[in-house]
Amino acid sequence: MLRALLLLMVVWPVLHVVAQERVEPRRSGQMWLEGGVVGGAPGVLEGWLVKDQAKRFRFAGEVGYRTGDELARGRQVILEGQLRYKLHRLVDVAAEQRYAARMRERDRHRFGLFAQVGDRVGRFDLGYRLSYQHTFGSEGLRRHTVRNRIDVGYDIRGFRFDPELMVEIFSALGREGRRHDATRFRLGTTWRPAKAHAVGIAVVHDREHGRRRPDRRWILSLSYTLDLRKL
C-alpha cells in the first residue's frame, strides 16, 4: 500500500506538467557546485540543554557556486546555514538561512522552515519533505513559497552507486492564492569513499509554469559533504 501511494505521488507531478499549456520556453544549461559540512549540536546549545536533548540537534553549513546559462560565466555564490532537530526517529524539523551573492542582479536573502519524514522499506529509502520559504526582496519577487518534495532511493545489492530520484513541486503564495510555480526533477547517486565523506552527482531538470516564457533548465550538480560526527 505504501509503495502504491508513493508511486501515485511521484507520477502525479509528471502528469500535471504534461497537462500544462504549451508555450515556447527558454532553454538553458547550468552547473551547480556545492560543498557542505554537518556536525553535532553547537556548543552554546550543549550548555543550555540536557545531554540527551542536545544530541537531537545538528547543524549544517554549505557554500555553493552556480553558473549562468554559459558555463564559464558565474551567476551566484550561495552561503547557507541550517539547524536541525530530530523530533522523532523518522521526523526531522529544521530552520535555515541562505544568502545568495548574485553576479548581475541584486543579492538575495532567504529564510526557510521544513519538516521531513523518511524511512527504509525493504531496499527502498523513502522520504517526504514539506518546506516554507520567505525570500526578502521587492514586491515583484515571489516572496512566499511552499515546496513539496518526494525522495526515492534504491539499494542495489553489491553496488556502490545506488540511484536516487527526487521530484519537487514549488507553489507560490500571493494575493491570488496558491499557484503551481515550478517542478524540479533530480536523478543522481551518492558515492561514499570513506565513512565521513560523501560525493554526489546528479542531473537536475527545472521546469517553470504559469509564465509567458517559462525556463527549462538542465543542470549538472556536483557536491561534497563532510560529516564531522563520523570522523
Q: Which domain holds residue 62?
A: 2-18+25-230
Q: Which residues of 51-79 are buried (b: 16+ CB within 10 A; e: fewer)?
A: eeebebbbbbebebebbbeeeeeebbbbe
Does the pTM surpass 0.85? The reply is no
Backbone φ and ψ for 156, nearest 5 degrees, come out as -85, 125
Q: Does 79 or 179 have the greater pLDDT score?
A: 79
In this prediction, residue 22 carries a pLDDT of 59
CATH number of domain containing 218:
2.40.160
Q: Give the span between the Cα atoms of 109 and 112, in whole angstroms.
A: 10
In this prediction, residue 109 carries a pLDDT of 92
Q: List pLDDT tens digits, range 19-54.
A: 554 567 888 889 999 999 999 876 555 556 656 677
For 119-169, the DSSP string reads EEETTEEEEEEEEEEEEES-TTS--EEEEEEEEEEE--TT-SS-EEEEEEE
Q: Does 162 or 210 have the greater pLDDT score?
A: 162
Specify whether the CB–CB gap between 217 and 206 falls below 8 A. Answer: yes
Q: List pLDDT tens digits, range 170-225.
A: 999 877 778 888 999 999 999 999 999 999 999 999 998 877 778 899 999 999 99
Q: Which helix (H) or strand (E) holds 53?
A: helix 51-54
Q: List pLDDT tens digits, range 58-74.
A: 899 999 999 865 554 55
Domains contained in the chain, number: 1
